[in-house]
Amino acid sequence: MNMIKRFKVSFSKVFKKLFKKKGACIGIYGPPNAGKTTLSNRILRDWVGGEETMGSVSHIAHETRHAKRRNEVTIETNGHTISLDIVDTPGLATKIDFHDFMEQGMSDSESKKRSKEATEGVIEAVKWLDDLDGVILVMDATENPYTQVNVTVIGNMEARNLPLLIVANKVDLPDADPGVIKEAFPQHPMVPVSALEGVGMDSFYEALAKQFG
């Protein structure tokens, strides 16, 4: 009888190990220059360490032109430990004009190439939605949240019945007003942060664990 019990316990441990649920795959979305990659880099800096980053940042829109994934990022917060796969996606936009890149000093050919890459990046970001378990939607707290991009992403997440966490970024800037974002989308949790300065990140990780853990 004891042997049978030991066998059952041993089998149960092996079964749980083999079929242990993997961490959720979470996509970081938002318009260009909202701070998606800055947030991704902050997460890696806080929980992976070293010099690893998700990508470079720039004041020029659409710096991230291809989605980048970092698997098994372990986050410990408020007595809980979660493991997430993080996907940093290209900025979403309803219109991409190569003239905008020319205004940043790029040549005609370079601007057209950048515009094409940015368009492809938007398509890739949308395709990623089929493989995600949830979304972090990054908004610039200094800008009007009632944009087509924000409304479309939120509507898409609600239609897919996927959990969503809104991040009101850039609260370190004097004209930031995260309260406007909260009022615009009260049906979803929102956390104000400065991914650049690291402000509000403890609250962000707690919200992350609660929403996706």
Q: What DSSP string describes 139-154?
A: EETTS-S--HHHHHHH
Q: What is the pLDDT of residue 63?
A: 60
Dihedral sign for Cα atoms in the order 109, 111, 117, 120? negative
Q: What is the pLDDT of residue 14?
A: 42
Q: What is the pLDDT of residue 116?
A: 79
Percent of the residues in the chain that have a pLDDT greater than 70, as a whole number: 79
Reported confidence tier of residue 11, pLDDT bands at 50, 70, 90:
very low
Side-by-side strand order, sheet with 25-29 = 68-77, 80-88, 25-29, 134-140, 164-169, 190-192
- Strands 68-77 and 80-88 come out as antiparallel
Question: Can you give the pTM of this predicted structure?
Answer: 0.82
Q: How many CA atoms lie within 13 A of 102 on its CB side?
A: 7
Amino acid of residue 177: D
Percent of the residues in the chain that have a pLDDT greater than 90, as a whole number: 55
Mean pLDDT for the stretch of residues 83-102: 80
Taken in order of first residue, the domains within the chain and their CATH numbers are 22-91+132-212 (3.40.50.300)
Reported confidence tier of residue 57, pLDDT bands at 50, 70, 90:
low
For 167, other C-beta atoms within 10 Å of its C-beta total 29
pLDDT at 189 over 90: yes
Q: What is the pLDDT of residue 180?
A: 97
